[in-house]
Structure 1
């Protein structure tokens, strides 16, 4: 398995072979209005999240129109779950930018469309570690391996904090491959800092990330901080070998105690920074 790495905007679709791991595939596609994007049937389950624009999905006799936000800061996302052995076609109503995550699956579940009405406007953390979360596919979702979450972090705040890892299958921790796909409200000038580290592997990655970059996290503690004045979004995809769906994480024991102060500090008053639906 390879090291954690950041791929600059313009990266090619990621398969497990390119990532150096076993489960997660990830791609972002732009489909012009009126064109159709096929998803052929295979042994992978997929999650389709429109980042901008609207599309119509056809799966057998089911027909959904979904999406509609101008960008990821305009409203919560939709997520279309396409099970294994299931063909789907997506027809762009407007120009549409869509993220497609995939993982091998052993069980065929039913197609599901998750809408903004199906999720909570959730705030996590406290103080300058406050962020907004939209949980599209959590462990209780009827799927095999895929988990999908949207996260918005106000400028100057920390996210995925305290740093945590999904590295080993053991009590309180699950082995999960993970990707972060970043977008910045200011696409040209916005940036954040990403840290991935592993004392046991003597590994350290601390680097700026910008709009359109992609992080691959096969192992290691990780956390992100948005630059002051630059709101950050990332689409978080996880999948792993565990037979039971779980997102258990092991927090860095050196930093885990800081969250004890969050109830007294309270939530960042800027949250939520994204409405359920575009205004």
Structure 2
């Protein structure tokens, strides 16, 4: 399922409570001087400062100024992991967007500010399925269920490739997590494409990706493609009973991952 969204000033609830089993998601959009307060209650949350600068307070403690990206395509994000029973206050210093992912918690933890230099950046894939993957909240952060990061597709490239799924609890071969993608495209009037499908064939959808699209992934394979001349960004949020990520690649395309080391060496020697 994909939603095409036009963000308004204030908090935009894009995945409502109960719409998915675990994940709730929204984006706060603010102009200079706007404030927003988030009380996590019985949820944990990850706030990713997509663009703009904000003054941040956590449980009354001054966390100073965070953010600063002009675009999601510019560098790494500032982010905050906020456990249950945490109050977060934001004051916008210039036009800003903040993505907020939430889920039910199973254990207590402490707030953690994640600086841009603490983001784990990976160069994943090769050739026309190469992309930049940025792990923001992973096993380094003792969250209860959330795993959050960003991916950027170069023009014309694919990601979530080879196609993979994570909808069956079958360790060590596959983990079960649902997922939400929130997209930006550059230029903003261009597009990408998502395919959501299952091996059984009961789900097979090709969906347009536009600026601020939201893709809800409950099951199935979910590769993403950027149009030529277009970069595609997406913030990804996973949640389930386990934070162990074990994607199960589609059998028809597993061979492509096996070729990556050879192709990297070939490209290096061109």
TM-score (norm 2): 0.92
Give the corresponding residue for 1:232.
232
Question: What is the root-mean-square deviation of aligned Cα atoms in Å?
Answer: 1.7
2:10 is aligned to: none
Paired residues in the alignment total: 260
Partner deviation per Cα, 1:51-98 (whole Å, 9 max, x = no partner): 110112111253222110011012211111111011111111212111
Structure 2 residue runs of 5 or longer lacking an equivalent are 8-12
Q: In the alignment, what sits opposite 1:274?
A: none
Distance in 2 between residues matched to 1:120 and 1:168, nearest whole Å: 27
Between the aligned partners of 2:17 and 2:60, the Cα distance in structure 1 is 31
CA contact (8 A) 1:139 1:247 kept: no
Cα drift, residue 237 of structure 1: 0.4
Structure 1: gaps of 5 or more residues: 270-279
Q: Where has structure 1 moved over 3 Å in runs of 4 or more?
A: none
SS of residue paired to 1:259: helix
Residue 151 of structure 1 is matched in structure 2 by: 151
2:132 equivalent in structure 1: 132
CA distance in 2, matches of 1:266, 1:169: 33
CA distance in 2: counterparts of 1:240 and 1:201, whole angstroms? 24
Asked if 1:121 is matched to 2:121, the reply is yes
Structure-2 separation of matches of 1:160 and 1:115: 25
Deviation at 1:105, TM superposition (A): 0.4
Note the C-alpha offset of 1:132: 0.5
Partners of 2:191 and 2:230 within 8 A in 1? yes
How far apart, CA to CA, are the structure 2 residues paired with 1:95 and 1:56?
12
How many angstroms apart in 1 are the aligned matches of 2:46 and 2:85?
14
Q: CA deviation at 1:120?
A: 3.2
1:62-73 equivalences under 5 Å are: 62-64=61-63, 65-73=65-73
Kept in 2: contact 1:85–1:108 (CA 8 A): no
Partner of 2:96: 96
2:180 counterpart residue number:
179
Q: Work out which structure has the larger RCO, using CA pairs closer than 8 Å and 6 or more positions apart in sequence.
A: 1
1:32 has 2:31 as partner: yes
Larger relative strand fraction:
2
2:76–2:117 contact (8 Å) kept in structure 1: no
Measured in 2, the distance between the counterparts of 1:52 and 1:170 equals 38
Partner Cα separation in structure 2 for residue 113 and residue 224 of structure 1 = 30
User: How far apart are residue 234 of structure 1 and its match?
Assistant: 0.4
- Give per-residue Cα distances to partners, 1:101-135, cap 9 Å, x unaligned: 00010212110011111123320011111000110
Structure 1 residues 41 and 149, CA gap change in structure 2 (3 angstroms): closer
Q: Secondary structure at the match of 1:264?
A: helix
* Residue pair 2:14, 2:214 contacting (<8 A) in 1 also: no
Is contact 1:165–1:219 with CA below 8 Å preserved after alignment? yes
Deviation at residue 259 of structure 1 after TM alignment: 1.5
TM-score, scaled to structure 1: 0.89
State how far apart, in whole Å, the 2-side matches of 1:212 and 1:101 are: 15
**Residue 49 of structure 2 aligns with which residue?**
50
Q: Distance in 1 between matches of 2:166 and 2:87?
A: 31
Instruction: Report if the CA contact (8 A) 1:56-1:93 is conserved.
Output: yes
CA distance in 1, matches of 2:84, 2:44: 5
